[in-house]
Structures are given as structure tokens and as C-alpha cells.
Amino acid sequence: MLWFIGLGITGPDSLSARAQKIVSESDVVYLEQFTSPITDAETQKIRELVRGEFKLGPRWLVEDGREILETAKEKNTVLLSYGDPYIATTHIELRVRAIQQGIKTDTIHASSALTSLIGECGLHYYKVGKTVTIMSTIPSTTAYYTIFENLKLGNHTVVLLEYNQNKSFFLEPVAAFESLLAAEKEQARKAISDSTYAIVASRIGFPNQSITAGNIGSMLNEDFGEAPHTIIIPGTMHFTESDALKAFARCVDAPEDNTSKIQKISAQMMKKYVPMVRRALEQIAPHYKDTKEFASVLENAELYIRDAERFFEQGKDELAILSIGYADGLVDALRIAKGIEPEM
């Protein structure tokens, strides 16, 4: 038998009587420690609860899994972990292998920082998009694009920060902000800037929990205290969310809507191409005013510019881009044929 038991966000004190009984009566209890830090005091509390064998479960042991599975074949075994057990994909994989090997499994779920911190920041859970992690060792390109995609849809992004148990290393929020600003420099989608509004949720569930919010630029010199920290980049904020954030957090700057600061690529294109094609059309028209067969090409170009604007207003971004591209092609064909250089 293999139990997956979550310690929740406040550690062993949050175990229910039922969970305590299972832990206490099991033959072997592994305490997994690599997905989140567990203090010595908490470890000691768990140790005192266990009447069977108590073992620490470092990353290699849980990922390898063979010892735990062999033990669980013969004995009542518990894998205790911080938060809700299956947020860590390693635990899901271990459960799959247990089932495949005929070992009975069961689960006690617990509070997770991922749900808790949304509410603690006053945000609406159903508006949270895909979650990302920023690592110190790799550029945050993926995180950058995930935030951009979430913002385009108005969604909030939870940004998890690297934790390395072996090195007791936590990525600092400021390092994560710098990494995102570096990604902006490289990718240049205008998704992140000094004025991007961000929330840093520190030590959620701990007695010294604190939440700080403000523009990234204002927070680059902020000291957020001890880890763990999580960043949220909010999308559209309902007024009840802004009000809640103001009540729950220390706001260095007043809450601001990030989605009004970003522009979809399609919007950036329309802003550039609609006036550009209009100018090109005006420039080229006089050269063809006596050429009847080309006059209809120019009329078509004008119609397609208007179509592009209309489609864009209707939210049909792809059709808008296709139309402005087409109008540009019509005009440019005539320009190229006359050997006229485009005006800049």
C-alpha cells in the first residue's frame, strides 16, 4: 500500500486526524523534500508522529522510485510531501508505476500554494492562465511568451521561481524580473516593461506571509524577505480584484491593468501597415491615372484597406492582416512596375 499525503501549505500542523493516524500507523514514512523546503522543526514534528520507520526522500530517491515501490509492495508506506501531492508530476509518475505493479494507492489531498496564493492576493481563480517557472540557468523566453499569450486573453499568470534543494537555492523575485526584462529586449513583443504591474506573494501560509504589488520598475530594489516567493503578472483586473489587492497587499503602486499596455502583434501590424499602404496608394495613384486597366487595381486596394480596418474592429485579426497584406501587394505591384522607390 502506498499513500500520497499532502502536508498542505502550513506543514504538519495542518494534517487532519485521519492523515495523522495513517502516518502514525504506517510501517514506513518517506518525507519528500525537494519540491519545497521543509524546516527542521517541521521535520522533527513529523518524525515524532511516525511510529514506524522514518526516511527522508531526496529527489533522486523519489524520481528513481524503486526503493519506495519495493517497500510499498510489502509494507504500508506513506510518501509525505509539501502542498497537494500531485502538483509535482514526479508523484503522479510514481503513482502510475505503483498501479502498474499492482500496488494499492490512495491519496490525502491538502492545500496548495497555487490555489491559496491567488485568493490571498485577491484575484479570481478562474482568470488564471497557464503557469510558468523561471529558472536561473536558462533565459525566460518561454515564461515571457506564456505571459504574453495570457495577457492577450486577459488572464493572470502565476510565475513560479526556481527552487533547488541541493543548493538551498531560491530564485529571487528581482532576478526573475530582470530575466523577463532581458527577454523583452530580445523578443521585443512589448509584453513586459518597467511599467508592467506585478505581485510578489512571499511565504504564503507562513506566519510572516507578505504580499507586495507594484510596477516592476518600482520593485527592482525591493527586499521581499525570505523565500519562498511567487510572482503573479495580473491580466485584466475586475474592480473587486483591484480593491481586494489594495486591502490584502502592500501596493507600492496603485493596481494597473497590464492588458492595456500590451498590444497584440496584429494590432502592432495594423498600426504600422494601414497608414503605410494608404500613403503608398496616394503616391502611386497619379502615375496610373490615365491607365484604365490599372485604375481598378487601385480601387480594389482602397476597398481592401477599408476591409482590413473593419475586420480588425470585429476582432477578426487574421482576416484583417490578410486584407492589409493583399492591399499592400496590389499597390506595390504597380509601384515596382514603375520602378518607384517607396516613401519612408
Query: Segment 224-243, which members bind its own copies (CB under 8 A)?
Result: 240, 243
Residue of the chain from 5, 15, 183, 305 that contacts its own copies (CB under 8 A): 15
Binding-site residue total for its own copies (CB under 8 A)?
Answer: 88
Dmax (CA) of the chain: 98
CB closer to its own copies out of 126 and 221: 126
Residue of the chain from 76, 111, 236, 259 that contacts its own copies (CB under 8 A): 111
Binding to its own copies in span 163-222, by CB under 8 A: 205
- 8 Å CB contact between 281 and 305: yes
**Residue 126 binding its own copies, by CB under 8 A:** yes
- 8 Å CB contact between 193 and 261: yes
d(CA 262, CA 151): 7
Residue 205: CB minimum distance to its own copies, A = 7
Residue 321: CB minimum distance to its own copies, A = 5
CB closer to its own copies out of 174 and 322: 322
CB closer to its own copies out of 11 and 173: 11
Binding to its own copies in span 287-306, by CB under 8 A: 293-294, 296-297, 300-301, 304
- 8 Å CB contact between 49 and 22: no
Cell numbers for 229: 516567493
CB closer to its own copies out of 99 and 220: 99
What DSSP assignment string belongs to 277-327?
HHHHHHHHGGGGTT-HHHHHHHHHHHHHHHHHHHHHHTT-HHHHHHHHHHH
- 8 Å CB contact between 241 and 122: yes
Amino acid of residue 212: T
Binding to its own copies in span 35-94, by CB under 8 A: 84-87, 89, 91-93
Return the number of other C-beta atoms located less than 10 Å from residue 104's C-beta. Answer: 11
**Helix (H/G/I), strand (E/B), else coil: 59:** helix
Closest CA to 147 of 182, 191, 179: 191
Helix (H) or strand (E) holding 112: none
Residue of the chain from 129, 173, 214, 255 that contacts its own copies (CB under 8 A): 129
CB closer to its own copies out of 167 and 292: 292
**Residue 135 binding its own copies, by CB under 8 A:** no
Residue of the chain from 2, 3, 5, 8 that contacts its own copies (CB under 8 A): 8
Q: Is-cis flag, bond preceding 58, omega within 30?
A: no
CB closer to its own copies out of 205 and 234: 205
**Residue 254 binding its own copies, by CB under 8 A:** no
